[in-house]
Structure 1
């Protein structure tokens, strides 16, 4: 088997999200690696496992596994050994460490991280909030927001809000349009952090041109422009971004340059800035020197 062409089998008794993230993160460290992922999720019976083993035999390659059922793990271990494919149980080091810390054995019950608890419903509620408040809709709901993202059109506000919602964060996004004042609730002591997203003009123009192609060259959703050419004109876009940055600076809103950031990286920075905002709010007032 060519060393830079791999079949990687991801076997999980739940959704497989952990293995997907781990696999992508590891493979990204190898330049020009060609990988085909075979994702086997919700594997909780011997019949399901046998289908997985048939797939591994047909297209052999390393196996990353997060099964917790001991009987299925034993059968998988034996089969992989017979086929000569490497197998790694990715949860084992973490479980062993935590067992030592807790002084109790793990339950080894699949899917325990996916329960309909308060955290689950908080994420659902946050998702509904983002949908109903996308692109400046229902600005009266700002008082319920955990964070407000502002920025010019196509600066990744919406996808970032949805990613944050999956973390249980109610994120409202407000488009910044020259000549249109942001909501008054944001201008004077907003009830939550306000964070600006900015981007390189050339990258923004590329995104906007692609968007216009998708919608047939019509006006951008959310607001109309008298001169649509300004939407993708470099000089006009540069002025638009400069105006937005100056507005954020004037209001004391921190900004994030999303040009070379993934949605995940942008969201992680948003969460850090939210923590900073709350830390400043919770900081006790300085003692009166005169006293």
Structure 2
């Protein structure tokens, strides 16, 4: 593997951060909370925007079951903690997003964005731990903690300053770095396809979010933001589906044995 190619993710990350720094603060749209869905079912305001979040908890439950099954079989790799955090973050998205959509405002939006940031960063940590050769359990866990701290700070930064740049950077890098790492380090083809499809679905979800009212006018029964929830849950579902079939090769025990052998040899 050429050194230049391995440095490409770091270069892209640095350039993206520099571009956002030079761009200046990115404020939230003035009418961000004015969603097209005005339905009310059984006293639940913005009901479709609220109820479409149930897809996330369904995916999280299936993912949690798969992870528990892997744990029982001893099929636990260095990426296992990060995937656990990802599943918990997806479940928390149901709570945070539903809480926000019942009465949208900036205070509630914090609890919507926080689990999304955690999901992005835990997925980055998981794929990096899975992809990079020689990644040990301790290093993988440390990177997970650092990325989760970055996720928290990105949302706190927005809350305190109104500047979305760190939060947007995290989402953008998730979409770029995951397929890039898998390509550079030659992940299984089916993994690359599944994760690539998940990233594509999330991009489409973000587009439907921007076409909130137009999609409601066309479909009548669902707004663009509600559709975004379903597409994002489907994207998470593709990732969870790969957990079921993916066989961890570099388990924690294996990594520890390698470290012990190296120490003994030295």
TM class by shorter-chain length? under 0.3
The structure with the larger Rg is 1
TM-score normalised by the chain length of structure 1: 0.23
TM-score normalised by the chain length of structure 2: 0.24
The structure with more helix, counted as a fraction of residues: 2
